[in-house]
Amino acid sequence: MPDSPATPPPACDARASWKPHGPYSLRQSLGILQRGAGDPATRVGNTGAWLCFHTPTGPVTLQATRSAGIDAEVFLKAWGPGAAHAVERGLHLLGAYDDWSAFDSPETRGLLHPTVARSRKSNPGLRLPSTGRVFDALLPAILEQKVTVLEANFAWRYLCLAVGGLPPGPAPSGMRLPPTPAAVRSLQPWQWHQARVDSKRSATALRAAAAAGALERWALMDLGAVRENAMGAGTLAAALESLPGVGPWSIAEVLQRTHGAADHVSVGDYHLAAFVGQVLTGRRVDDAGMLDLLAPFSGHRQRVVRLIGLSGQRKQAFGPRLAPMDHRRR
């Protein structure tokens, strides 16, 4: 008996397309949004990506696909109550408004370390995305504080599967919506233990969930407005800094994703300063040394960091690894 034909996916609720001016890499641009290979909320490949998230009008499943060829085009399809909102913000998400012209100017190019210059030449399709979703970026950043990436990704996956909810439309099997602030506030102590999240991080996550409504109002502003003067009073960064347990590292990690902040460097990262120093000088440096090395690129320091990450260089191993901690029996 012949196989039954596959059921076609349901018609999408909203769609759009974008033709980039110049090269564009879907994986490099949106890859920063995926929390490990097993992320239930985001899956990014070379030519396609699936993202499940909440919008002010409801949940959505968003598919982005990139056509082949020099004149590639990016197509967006969305399902669910939040489809129209997601597509309306789709160009921000893709990084369409991320402007590299100043970085690519002869003045800046002349300052670049050869490794960074080669990386830029090899990765011309990198854009910095702007999701506008504060809590979706803040919660994973909190989970990543002072633990290994593996531990943080485990916690994120556990929370998504436990309380994230099923996404609308034809999302791939196993995908889930990110936890809402209300869902995070509903978590029981044993669930935090099962997620291997210690009491300090869980307390910070609960404070973030309580403040999420106020924080998300910043996402309604022009997504480009945070790029300049982002650390002063009356900014999203200042609002985040007012939360106990949320410091410069977490703020940078959030703004890099929510507003494509091209100058925010993750100061306090366990590995970053040593890696930047290794690539740019051949020796390890601390955070202050890293900022000194990046100072000539003020306004573009995160671009330099991203290009170093794409350069093919690998951080040299020094000393013992940070050991994962199991908090489930604590």
Counted domains in the chain: 1
- Bridge-based pairing of strands 14-18 and 58-66 is unpaired
pLDDT of residue 169: 96
* Residue 279 resides in a domain: yes
Q: Say which residue the tokens 């490099």 belong to.
A: 28
pTM of the model: 0.89
* Residue 46 resides in a domain: no
CB 231 within 8 A of CB 237: yes
Q: What is the pLDDT of residues 251-291, one digit of tens each?
A: 999 999 999 999 999 999 989 999 999 999 999 999 999 99
- Split at pLDDT 50, 70, 90, the class of 234 is low
Q: Say which residue the tokens 């996916």 belong to.
A: 9
* Residue 84 resides in a domain: no
Other residues' Cβ atoms within 10 Å of the Cβ of residue 9: 11
Q: Residue 10 pLDDT more than 90?
A: no
Helix axes 149-163, 134-143, angle to 10 degrees: 130
CB 293 within 8 A of CB 281: yes
CB 101 within 8 A of CB 30: no
Domain that holds residue 286: 134-309
Distance between CA 197 and CA 44 in Å, rounded?
A: 26
CB 294 within 8 A of CB 265: yes
Q: What is the pLDDT of residues 12-34, one digit of tens each?
A: 999 999 999 899 999 999 999 99
pLDDT of residue 71: 75
Other residues' Cβ atoms within 10 Å of the Cβ of residue 234: 8
Q: In what order do the strands lie in the sheet with 58-66?
A: 14-18, 74-79, 58-66, 48-55, 42-44
Q: What is the pLDDT of residues 127-181, one digit of tens each?
A: 999 999 999 999 999 999 999 999 999 999 999 999 999 999 999 999 999 999 9
pLDDT of residue 7: 59
- Report the pLDDT averaged over residues 102-106: 96
- Write a three-state SS string for 209-239: HHCHHHHHHHHHCCCCCCCCCCCCCCCHHHH
Could you write out the DSSP letters of every residue in 70-133? TT--EEEEEESTTHHHHHHTHHHHHTTT---TTTTSHHHHTTS-HHHHHHHHH-TT--------
* Residue 178 resides in a domain: yes
* Residue 231 resides in a domain: yes
Helix axes 272-281, 287-294, angle to 10 degrees: 50
Distance between CA 157 and CA 176 in Å, rounded?
A: 9
Question: Which residue type sits at 59?
Answer: P
pLDDT of residue 329: 44
Q: Residue 244 pLDDT more than 70?
A: yes
pLDDT of residue 1: 40
Rounded to a whole number of angstroms, the distance between the first and last alpha carbons of the chain is 56
What's 196's domain CATH number? 1.10.340.30
pLDDT of residue 229: 43
* Residue 95 resides in a domain: no
Helix axes 248-258, 134-143, angle to 10 degrees: 140
Other residues' Cβ atoms within 10 Å of the Cβ of residue 12: 18
Task: Please list the residues that pair with 50 across neighbouring strands.
Answer: 43, 63
Phi and psi (nearest 5°) for 104? -85, 5
pLDDT of residue 220: 63
- Split at pLDDT 50, 70, 90, the class of 233 is very low
* Residue 104 resides in a domain: no
CB within 8 Å of 16: residues ≥ 6 apart: 75, 76, 87, 90, 91
Look at 220 and 46; give whichever has higher pLDDT: 46
Distance between CA 41 and CA 104 in Å, rounded?
A: 33
How far is residue 220 CA from its own chain's centroid?
18
pLDDT of residue 270: 84
Distance between CA 167 and CA 171 in Å, rounded?
A: 7
* Residue 287 resides in a domain: yes
